[in-house]
Structure 1
Amino acid sequence: MKYLYLLGAALVVSTPAMAADNDPIVVTAMREPTPVTQIGQAISIITRDEIERTQATTATEVLARVPGVSVTNSGGFGQPSSVFIRGADNAQSLVLIDGVRINDPGDVGGGFDFGALTIGQFDRVEVVRGSAGVIWGSRAIGGVINFITKRPTEQWHGQAQAEYGWRDRKQVSASAAGMLGPVGLTLGGNWLKGDGYSAFNERRGGTEKDGFESKSANARAEVELSPGLSVDAGGYWTKANYDYDGFGADALNVGLKRDTLGYANVRYKGVDGRLSARLGYGLTDTRRISDDAVWGPYETNGKVERFEGQASFAPVELVSVLVGAETEKQKFDDNYGSQDSTSIDSVYGNLTLHLLAGLTLNGGLRYDDNSDFGDKTTFAANGAWVIGSGVDAPVLRASYGEGFKAPSLYQLYTNAGFRALDPETSKGWDVGFEQPFAEGTGRFTLTYFDRKTKNLIDYDFANWNYYNVGRARAQGVELGMQVANWNGFDVNLSYTYLDATDENTGTRLARRPKSNLYASLDKAWDLGLRLGADLRVGGGRYDDMANSQYVDGHLVVGLRGAFAVTDNVEVYGRVENLFDEHYEVVRTYGTPGRSAYAGVRVKM
């Protein structure tokens, strides 16, 4: 009855306003399709064209190019990888696949390990920077990352690619989407395998290669039952086996990561498009095994089930209302006897006002009732103002958001009986400016952000337990510039200045560089040739909270090229780390040297 009440409460309701032709639509910021110019938060969109143009193969390669985002890899593919949005911890950001949470309740902080996530099956990535706690709930302190697969259209579209390169790395992927009678289908798969390199830095003496193999598959089906009423269901599965090293030395350790998610939705749209509603179910199931060659395996299993309902309604043109309700249950166990569960029930609402031409205001509240930590109410507001009209009209943005993150099941139930932990909470704001240029094909953005977080949870090695130990502040500036297909040129520039500090000690937060720069330039010619180059400049960082171990910055250059043999066949190749830069992003862990890859891509 509780579930029915929560879902039924959501059947009230907002519909997205129509966007101009050059105004991108995003779904992650408001959990429904909304023009970017009507959202006051900072948002980045990575399209399939950009993924193919830069020849990215992993999720971290794509995310490292986004303003305000930094990535740390503890070795090569399969090794632990964290993503920090505006200095927030990896576990303080929410990660989605097709809108379904993929964060692992078996992870230390309840975060998501990006180390084995490939990008080949995804059509689009949306990154919301800044707290999205009202819309998405617990964990969305730093922001939200949504990996989106391709949606079916009336015509079938498909693609496949194969790639080979450095240290016997092989990759094959394929995807297709279209209609089979009344049913829309999306199918995809990816396989990646290679010898890899030593997770313990080879330039420090590591000699044993840490290989990997990854397999993944996705599927989605949707059908319209009657005008305005449809159902859809889908899933994503990935499994990675990899070798890894110990702390500061080669080791014959092996690991496994397996993520499975499934979802189903019933959707309705009516009242001349002004009313939309959705009832949904989502399931995430994870398994992690770290098999130490000396101490044996450590296995964790996590499971999350969610029932949710959401509805939106625009009673008049100037006003829209979004409301929703959710109930979530998490389970966790390991092979050392830890086993428990927790649940959280939530309701939320957002009001959108279009008071003046070009001005959109959004404000919302969320109420969460956690079975272990009681209730919490959070507030958020943002606004966007398009000044003038035309493709080059500037946009002003501002947002304020509160967030919270309950302690993870791992922190609670592997914590030697100490469970008196408080949720982490945050308050943050930002203000930004966007200037389109080059006839609307280019966008320049500049954003200032400031976030304070309390009750940070960390491990106390002196007392062998997790405690609420800290307060942190992260503030800085994000600069971005993107140009898409302007006279054959594509340009991407992102720069972040970040001051992320522990307010108790005054030290910098570990593994957060003060500055990060990414720049790329591509040129395409009518004969089918495309050439490009990119530059990554990572600032220095401390590897520990005491700021006693410093890791120097780095500069890495890459080159790439592609040639369209026919309208449907393209060959491509790239050289990464052209000047064989010797560097680390996590102390004692290796990074790839100069490497080369070549492949072929076929589309239909």
Structure 2
Amino acid sequence: MKYLFLLGTALAVSTPAMAQDAVAIGEQMAAGDRAMARTDITVTATREPTPITQVGQSVSVVTRDQIERTQATTATDVLARIPGISTVQSGGFGQPASVFVRGAENAQSLVLIDGVRINDPGDVGGGFDFGALPIGQFDRVEVVRGSSGVLWGSRAVGGVINFITARPTEQWTARGQAEYGWRDRKQASVSAAGLVGPVGLTLGGNWLKGDGFSAFNERRGATEKDGFESKSANARASIEFAPGLSADAGGFYTKANYDYDNTGADALNVGMKRDTLGYANLRYAGLDGRLNARVGYGINDTRRISDDAVFGPYTTNGRTERFEGQVSFAPIEEASVLVGGETEKQKFDDNYGSKDSTTIDSLFGNLTLRPFAGLTLNGGLRYDDNSDFGDRTTFAANGAWVIGGGDSAPVLRASYGEGFKAPSLYQLYTNAGFRALDPETSKSWDVGLEQPFAEGTGRFTVTYFDRKTKNLIDYDLANFNYYNVGRSRAQGVELGMQVTDWQGFDVNLAYTYLDAVNEDTGAQLARRPKSNLYASIDKAWAVGLKLGADLRVGGGRYDDTANAQYVGGNVVVGLRGAFAVTHNVEVYGRVENLFDEHYEVVRTYGTPGRSAYAGIRVKM
């Protein structure tokens, strides 16, 4: 009865997507087209191209134009500007970085590149380390907040983050960028997309190198810099064999070498992280677009080396392979159904003899109803069979209601979702061998309202969210083992405001109030600030000049589960500018941490001081 009630009344939740271009998957966004449209498309929320107004979950979309306007260089630069998300990093580029979606653990969010899972089975919790991921090769980022286990399976407790590379267009396009700045940091990136006969191709690469700053806080006496170098490449090819029948394949590679500190003092430690991802899909579309089918294969292989100057190297290898298929069919305009199946195998080993694997087989289905214009309801079920933990069934429902019509009509959203995360192979098999751990499970709901304004160029949103999680896994320092904590709860409010090209102005506001606690002890969850604010304003003139500023206000947080070590908040201001020399060439520059704020987000670890960068972009 509870599930029937939720399905019947779901009216969806979400801060509005921040997309600025109406694009479908497989289409390249038109460069320079920055008009906000209510027909924005998201792929990640429903596993199929879907207008934002028909999505009941909280979704944010960041386009290439926004990435360039803010002059972001890393994945965490982009994610930190989104409502409901906070980031922490133990030093500079290459150092461990976590992303908390609505207070969920870093390992409780599913991370994708072009729809392929990149979470690392060799990671402590099976999560993804964002510390060495540059943003230069990506054309689009989609973030779904809230438990998404029905469509995406294990690990999608907090949400889903999808980094998407550019798609080929009929005419060749290319762009290049070079940048230089503080402490000899150099960056160069290139990408090109177009057709070679019947084959669509996308190619890209990114290089980033710098002296960096000490991971151990220089304000505490550190003198040794922790440098880094990152190399990345991506490729994608697609071909249409016959009307409606097509195939695509691609890959992504990134390798980062970096120095690091982990002892509360300078150390001559070095590390390496390498991710290799590949995928292939066969697609069919027929019946005037009412039938869509896909079968696909994806593989992700990760290698990490932490070479401690005293104890020597620790090496982990993680691999995930997946076969999946899905079919969607819309017998009538008012209803459609999506069904699919997946099988996944994970492997893990290290240089201390730990080695094992696990498999999970899944079936899922989702029903979409549009009983009248403006209202979309979704409900779905998923069945997972894990080789170590048996089977589990999860449920989700959401809806979106455009109240009225036109560009000024508000959108009411609500969603309910269940999720689970099996213990990682690292947690199960390292140190003391296999141990009995229970999967983490979650139930979450949210409700929100989106209100357009400023002649349809702006959106204001407010969202309330609540998630309860059981069996959180933590590390026991006394017994040197992992154990299930019990219960936690994360609830709060997200406020968002986005204005795009209103009389030359772009404005972004993202504020989150979060109360994330261990319900058994009453302690705040570690490293989650109660409040987090990002605000920016940019102005463009017809002569080609652009000026902008941003403000980040991070709240204080506890650095440990016992709430004994408190890290204070911070206020950081940045300025930026750009000038179009010609139609195809733009020079730009920025100053980060303008007032040289001294702060930490992880206790004893440093953050960058005042720094300046300048660069050039070329588009063809």
Same fold (TM over 0.5): yes
Question: How is 1:135-534 mapped onto 2 (pairs within 5 angstroms)?
Answer: 135-534=151-550
Partner residue in 2 for 1:55: 71
The answer on whether the counterparts of 1:540 and 1:551 sit within 8 Å (CA) in structure 2 is yes
Identity of aligned residues (%): 83
- Secondary structure of the 1:138 match is coil
- Match of 2:344, SS? strand
Paired AA for residue 130 in structure 1? G
Q: Return 5+ residue gaps in structure 2 as ranges.
A: 1-23, 25-35
2:515 corresponds to which letter in structure 1? D
The 3-state SS of whatever aligns with 1:135 is helix
Equivalent residue of 1:37, what SS?
helix
Which residue among 43, 50, 62 is the counterpart of 1:27?
Answer: 43
Matched residue, 1:120: 136
Q: 1:415-434: CA deviations, max 9, x gaps? A: 41342111000000000000
Letter in 1 for 2:126: G
Aligned to 2:83: 67
Q: 1:134 corresponds to which residue?
A: 150
Residue pair 2:346, 2:359 contacting (<8 A) in 1 also: yes
The CA deviation string for residues 483-542 of structure 1, in whole angstroms up to 9 with x for no partner, is 111110000000000000000100000000000000000000000000000000000000
Paired residue for 1:110, among 112, 126, 130?
126
Displacement of 1:354 after TM fit?
0.1
Unpaired stretches in structure 1, ≥5 consecutive residues? 1-15
Tell me the secondary structure at the aligned position of residue 370 of structure 2.
strand
* Distance across 2 between alignment mates of 1:65 and 1:21: 21
SS in 1 for 2:67: helix
Question: In structure 1, which of residues 554, 565, 590 is the aligned counterpart of residue 581 of structure 2?
Answer: 565
Q: C-alpha deviations, 1:223-274, integer Å up to 9, x for none?
A: 0000000000000000000000122100000000000000000000000110
Write the distance in 2 (CA, Å) between the matches of 1:321 and 1:167: 54
Conservation of the 8 A alpha-carbon contact between 1:418 and 1:465: no
For 1:328 and 1:358, the matched residues in 2 are separated by 37
2-structure distance, mates of 1:587, 1:383: 41
1:97-140 deviation per Cα after TM superposition (whole angstroms, max 9, x unaligned): 00000000000000000000000000000000001100000000
Hey, what's the Cα distance between the residues in 2 that align with 1:297 and 1:440? 56
Question: Per the alignment, in what secondary structure is the counterpart of residue 355 of structure 1?
Answer: coil
Contact 1:415–1:466 at 8 Å: present in 2 too? no
Distance in 1 of aligned mates of 2:38 and 2:127: 35
Q: Distance in 2 between matches of 1:246 and 1:516?
A: 27
The one-letter amino acid of 2:401's match is W
User: Does the 8 A contact of 1:242 with 1:255 survive in 2?
Assistant: yes
1:319-340 per-position Cα deviation (integer Å, ceiling 9, x unaligned): 0000010000000000000000
- Give the aligned residue type for 1:34: T
The CA distance in 2 between the partners of 1:479 and 1:77, in whole Å, is 29
Amino acid at match of 1:69: I
Shift of 1:470: 2.3
Q: State how far apart, in whole Å, the 2-side matches of 1:64 and 1:297 are.
A: 32
1:155 CA displacement: 1.0
Equivalents in 1 of 2:156, 2:262: separation in Å? Answer: 31
Distance apart, 1:600 and its partner CA: 0.3
Q: Could you tell me how far apart the structure 1 residues matched to 2:71 and 2:535 are? A: 15
TM-score by length of 2: 0.94
Give 2:402's aligned amino acid: V
Residues 245 and 251, structure 1, Cα contact 8 Å, conserved in 2? yes
Q: Tell me what 1:11 maps to.
A: none
Deviation at 1:198, TM superposition (A): 0.2
Question: Structure 2 residue aligned with 1:90, among 98, 106, 128?
Answer: 106
- Secondary structure of 1:53's counterpart equals helix
SS class of match (1:367): strand
Q: Secondary structure at the match of 2:131?
A: helix
CA–CA separation in structure 2 for the residues paired with 1:412 and 1:545: 21
Instruction: Measure the CA separation in 2 of the matches of 1:399 and 1:25.
Output: 19
Q: Secondary structure at the match of 1:199?
A: coil
In the TM superposition, what is the alpha-carbon distance from 1:357 to its structure 2 partner? 1.5
String of CA shifts for 1:141-172, please: whole Å, max 9, x gaps. 00000000000111111100000000000000
1:552 corresponds to 2:568: yes
CA contact (8 A) 2:462 2:496 kept: yes
* Paired residues of 1:197 and 1:211 also in contact (CA < 8 A): yes
| 2-structure distance, mates of 1:207, 1:49 | 38
Q: In structure 1, what is the equivalent of residue 12 of structure 2?
A: none
Match for residue 8 of structure 1? none
Cα distance in structure 2, aligned partners of 1:558 and 1:122 = 23
Alpha-carbon deviation of 1:22?
3.1
Amino acid at match of 1:221: A
- For residues 209 and 41 of structure 1, what CA distance do their matches in structure 2 show? 43
Relative to structure 2, which stretch is displaced further, 439-448 or 564-573? 439-448
User: Cα distance, 1:440 vs. partner?
Assistant: 1.5
Secondary structure (helix, strand or coil) at the match of 2:107 reads helix
Query: What is the one-letter code of the residue matched to 2:598?
Result: H
Q: Do the aligned residues in 1 keep the contact of 2:348 with 2:355 (CA within 8 Å)?
A: yes
String of CA shifts for 1:271-328, please: whole Å, max 9, x gaps.
0110000000000000000000000000000000000001100001110000010000
* Larger deviation, residues 432-441 vs 267-276: 432-441
Aligned residues: 586
Q: Equivalents in 2 of 1:127, 1:149: separation in Å?
A: 15
Measured in 1, the distance between the counterparts of 2:389 and 2:412 equals: 38
**Shift in Å, 1:580:** 0.2
Q: Distance in 1 between matches of 2:161 and 2:477?
A: 32
Provide TM-score, normalisation by structure 1.
0.96
Residues of 2 paired with 1:220 and 1:436: CA distance? Answer: 36
| Structure 1 residue ranges (4+ consecutive) displaced by more than 3 angstroms after TM superposition | none
Q: Which residue in the other structure is 2:617 paired with?
A: 601
What residue identity is the alignment partner of 2:522? G
- The whole-number CA distance in structure 2 between the counterparts of 1:179 and 1:251 is 50
